[in-house]
Amino acid sequence: MPLLNASNLTMKFEGLVAVDDFSLNIGDNDLIGLIGPNGAGKTTIFNMLTGVRTPTSGTIEFNGEDITNIKPYEITKKKIARTFQNIRLFNEITVLDNVKISFNYQIKYNLLHSILRLPSFFKEEKEIEKKALELLYIFKLDGKKYEKAKNLPYGEQRKLEIARALAANPKLLLLDEPAAGMNPQETRELTELIKWIRERFKISILLIEHDMKLVMNLCERIVVLDYGKKIAEGTPTEIKSNPQVITAYLGEEDMDA
């Protein structure tokens, strides 16, 4: 049984078909790229998989359970986490608190424990801070833990968003253009970091990305969309030589560039 099974997903907006009969299986420890031109429907697929949008038709199963119509916070509890194309951090609070917030749904103490400041409250808060600092250390952000998120350089804001997603302890991590705005050196570091994250946390990763060098060097399987429809799926080698992909998406672009 696959970790995630999306079957025949269709999403229509006032008659416009954004995604058309899309299916995808994701297994344990998979690393998959989702590519296609702007407007191909990639982010809409992410939104359906994470409960932001309910498909017009089709089903989504995760760990053998139908999650098609549940809310985003319930999706998170099922252990699916994501980042966004446009960074969504809490800009006015610290880097550390941005990560700690993602542990909220996992806390065991109740409101009374919090109000009365019982030992169980302090014990769990201490454990949450320890885990948050461990994540910041991985992303080399521990030295900026007390800075406001808005003061981080763009590349570090991207890393903070990934760290915050990992704080939700996901089995499936969805990354929406993680290399956007990064320079070549940062992109190379990110490529290695994503590989390491998959092995360290034993999770599956589905990513949207326009940087073809990153996709080809990182992903083991690639899915290609065009006008909301899947036109190809295969290994990087298969995708590079697929005439339909070259015609519809890449044109004369060198996929190894």
Segment 11-18 mean pLDDT: 91
> What's residue 123's pLDDT?
67
Segment 41-64 mean pLDDT: 96
> What's residue 247's pLDDT?
82
Query: Can you read off the two tokens belonging to residue 56?
Result: 């017009």
DSSP structure class, residue 37: S
- Is pLDDT above 90 for 35? yes
CA 225 to chain centre: 18
> What's residue 14's pLDDT?
86
Overall size of the chain counted in residues: 257
Residue with tokens 């290695």: 192
CA 17 to chain centre: 24
Q: Where residue 45 falls among pLDDT bands split at 50, 70, 90?
A: very high
pLDDT digits (tens, 9 = 90+) for 121-161: 556 778 888 899 999 999 999 999 999 999 999 889 999 99
> What's residue 249's pLDDT?
65
> What's residue 1's pLDDT?
77
Reported as half-sphere exposure (CB side, CA atoms, 13 A), residue 44 has a value of 24
- Is pLDDT above 60 for 252? no
In contact, 144 and 174? CB cutoff 8 Å: no
Residue with tokens 């994250």: 197
Can you state the angle between helices 154-166 and 119-138, rounded to 10 degrees? Answer: 130
Q: Are strands 16-26 and 172-176 parallel, antiparallel or unpaired?
A: unpaired
The set of residues, in sequence order, having a beta carbon less than 8 Å from that of 183 and lying 6+ positions away, is 155
> What's residue 39's pLDDT?
87
CA 152 to chain centre: 20
CA dihedral 144, 145, 146, 150 (to 10 degrees): 70
pTM: 0.87
